[in-house]
Amino acid sequence: MQRRDVFIGFAALGLLAACGGAPKGRIGPDGLPLPQVYRISEGDTDAIQFRMLDSVNTLRAAAGVPSVALDPQLNAADATHARDMSVQNRPWLFGSDGSSPLERARRVGFQGRILGENISESYETELETLAAWMKQQDTRRVVLDPAARRMGLAWFQEPAGKLWWVMTMGSDPVMQAPVAMTQPFTTAAVTE
């Protein structure tokens, strides 16, 4: 009978241990779960860009500034810069060729003004990255720029999972002032 009681006791302990709310995954030295790698597949691009666009426009509406639209040219410039930051292994605003956000936008044919660019090197999701940008005055100013009407968003993910995020804000296409004529316009004389 004692053997049966011991067996039931161990079984009960096993069940209690299994029911415990132990965190899943690896645990860090502080006892908290370590962050999971956020994997992005090629098919996720539209969902991520529109989730970010919706979030940015929600923040902009709360701040009382007009919404922005995704711009494919800015997306292309941002994708190039995200990959380039990975190659350089540093998050910064200049390309390995010395290019600025303005130059990268011009290369892809963007006709508006570049108002600002936010960058990030992280393992975080797009919304965690946006939250981090909103905590800093300089990057928050880019997200909430009242003159912005266009937004680009792209990233590059390394095989180990590190993400290089780039968001660029721009204006609508800038109208060019008419070119002054060098010779005055004259009407032709009408003869009868």
List pLDDT tens digits, range 145-174: 999 999 999 999 999 999 999 999 999 997
Q: Is the pTM of this model over 0.95?
A: no
119 in Cβ contact with 91 (< 8 Å) = yes
Other C-beta atoms lying within 10 Å of the C-beta of residue 84: 19
Of 118, 121, 152, nearest in space to 45 by CA: 152
Taking the CA atoms of residue 117, residue 123, residue 129 and residue 135 in that order, the dihedral angle to the nearest 10 degrees is -100
List pLDDT tens digits, range 92-128: 898 989 999 999 999 999 999 999 999 999 989 999 9
Q: What is the pLDDT confidence band of residue 13, given thresholds at 50, 70 and 90?
A: very low
pLDDT of residue 21: 42
For the cut 60, the answer to whether the pLDDT of residue 192 exceeds it is no
For the cut 90, the answer to whether the pLDDT of residue 2 exceeds it is no
Three-state secondary structure call for residue 158? coil
pLDDT of residue 49: 96
pLDDT of residue 92: 84
146 in Cβ contact with 109 (< 8 Å) = no
pLDDT of residue 39: 84
List pLDDT tens digits, range 31-79: 877 667 778 888 899 999 999 999 999 999 999 999 999 999 999 999 9
Q: What is the pLDDT confidence band of residue 15, given thresholds at 50, 70 and 90?
A: very low
Mean pLDDT of 134-141: 98
92 in Cβ contact with 84 (< 8 Å) = no
pLDDT of residue 179: 52
* The residue count for the chain: 192
Supply 97's token pair.
């060729």
More confident position, 22 or 141: 141
Three-state secondary structure call for residue 93? coil
Three-state secondary structure call for residue 49? helix
Q: How far apart are the first and last CA of the chain?
A: 132
Q: What is the pLDDT confidence band of residue 175, given thresholds at 50, 70 and 90?
A: low
Segment (H or E) for 113: strand 112-122
pLDDT of residue 131: 97
Greatest CA separation found in the chain? 132
